[in-house]
Amino acid sequence: MFRSLAPGRHVFRTPLGFAGFAWTTRGVDRFALPQASADDVLAELPARTTPRPLPPVVKDLARRVRAHLSGRPDPMTDVPVDLSALTPFGRKVARALRRVPPGRTTTYGELARRAGSPGSARAVGGRMACNAAPLLVPCHRVIGADGALGAFSGPGGSRQKEHLLQLEGVTFDPVLAEGYAHLARVDRKMAGLVRTFGPYAPGFGGHASWDILVTSIVHQQLSVKAAATIAGRVCALTPGPAMPTPDEMARLSTEALRGCGLSRAKEMYVKDLSRHVRNGLLDLDALDHLDDGEVLDALTAVKGIGVWTAQMSLIFHLGRLDVWPVGDLGLRNAVKLHLGMDAAPTEKEMEPLGDRWAPYRSMAAWYLWALVDGEII
């Protein structure tokens, strides 16, 4: 395939960003997974000349990679990979792994057995960590024996690993798998957003409900980037990466909070939230056990927490999958763009527009936000 070519390299666009590969006369010896810039990809490839015009074999491989990253899985087992720099054990592992097809996964222990070295799971993990040709030697298909996703040395870390698996039809959460299937059935364009932006994973997951609520107040009527800057300044007022605790918030001065960029109203809102939590008027630990309507009632009793902020808590903290925040201007603009409307729908018009994505409207909203922001929230 590459025997008639001088060693070279090629960088190209894919649906997920720039990717690239380099080759010798034996085959591809380096593959760079998608990144935001061509320069980042070039930095991962050997310093070789890109032939002009591109040989057909090079163009064909780039085309196949683009198709694969568009959700049309390609085993690519016929693509020669130059494994000459590997140890004999490394070559056995790579060859065994190339036989694991898209849509399937294997474990480190099973891969060691297939490579003829049972009990060498740890050594397999070390081999995967320095894999020079991911995707062609598909290390993203190797998971832990307990089903855990495991680490990934690609530029996007474990999230990129999960995304690559999702494109091949592998989703570990059956509820989300049904959500993806539903969105694809009812909206082909939404299916495209899922492929582009990857697994549904609201960005505040794993944070305390207090942090979510304070962050949501900060985000009110601001762009994502501006709000993130202000939230970071509020976090920096006290030690540690989290928001000031309710007790710490109560002790912070108006000047300190206003100095972070909070408006006077928002400074009052976070203080009132602190008072409700400290006095037991709002039991944050109990929210998990309430239905969506009860959560909305409990949170909107706090000054400054309206329906929108409560809905953000439902989506980003409590993990509710069928919340449709019709008052969110960014979402309304996203719906306009997604549906090709002349103007952003009103709140009244938004309600029935979301019906097509129920009961996974939170997921639809998350992907629509990503559409207008150009990034995952």
Number of helices (H), then strands (E), belonging to the chain: the values are 18, 5
In the predicted model, is pLDDT for residue 206 greater than 80? no
Beta strand pairing call for 17-24 and 27-35: antiparallel
Look-up of token digits 């036989």: 99
- How does residue 312 score in pLDDT terms, banded at 50, 70 and 90? confident
Tokens of 360: 């996974």
Question: What pLDDT is attached to residue 375?
Answer: 57
Instruction: For 53-99, write each residue's pLDDT tens digit.
Output: 999 999 999 999 999 999 999 999 999 999 999 999 999 999 999 99
Cα(first)–Cα(last) distance of the chain, in Å? Answer: 42
Q: Which of 130, 139, 235, 260 is catalytic?
A: 139
Mean pLDDT of the region 320-345: 95
Residues 6+ away with beta carbon under 8 Å from 168? 73, 102, 103, 141
In the predicted model, is pLDDT for residue 45 greater than 90? yes
- How does residue 207 score in pLDDT terms, banded at 50, 70 and 90? low
Question: What pLDDT is attached to residue 156?
Answer: 87
Question: What pLDDT is attached to residue 153?
Answer: 85
In the predicted model, is pLDDT for residue 377 greater than 90? no
Instruction: For 221-263, write each residue's pLDDT tens digit.
Output: 888 789 999 999 999 999 888 899 999 999 999 999 999 999 9
Domains of the chain plus CATH, in order, are: 1-171 (1.10.10.10), 209-373 (1.10.340.30)
Instruction: For 158-170, write each residue's pLDDT tens digit.
Output: 999 999 999 999 9
Is residue 139 annotated as a catalytic residue, yes or no? yes
In the predicted model, is pLDDT for residue 368 greater than 50? yes
Rounded to an integer, what distance in angstroms lies between the CA atom of residue 109 and that of residue 112? 5
Q: How many CB atoms lie within 10 A of CB 329?
A: 11
Instruction: For 104-128, write each residue's pLDDT tens digit.
Output: 999 999 999 999 989 898 999 888 8
pLDDT above 90: percentage of residues in the chain: 77
- How does residue 203 score in pLDDT terms, banded at 50, 70 and 90? low
pLDDT above 70: percentage of residues in the chain: 98
Mean pLDDT of the region 39-49: 96
Pairwise pLDDT comparison (323 vs 1), residue with the higher score: 323
In the predicted model, is pLDDT for residue 269 greater than 90? yes
Tell me the pLDDT of the chain averaged across its residues. 92
Residues 6+ away with beta carbon under 8 Å from 148? none
In the predicted model, is pLDDT for residue 174 greater than 50? yes
Q: How many CB atoms lie within 10 A of CB 262?
A: 21
Question: What pLDDT is attached to residue 151?
Answer: 83
Question: What pLDDT is attached to residue 262?
Answer: 95
The reply to whether the predicted model has a pTM over 0.95 is: no
Question: What pLDDT is attached to residue 376?
Answer: 46
In the predicted model, is pLDDT for residue 205 greater than 80? no
Q: How many residues does the chain have?
A: 377
Q: Are the C-beta atoms of 230 and 198 separated by less than 8 Å?
A: no
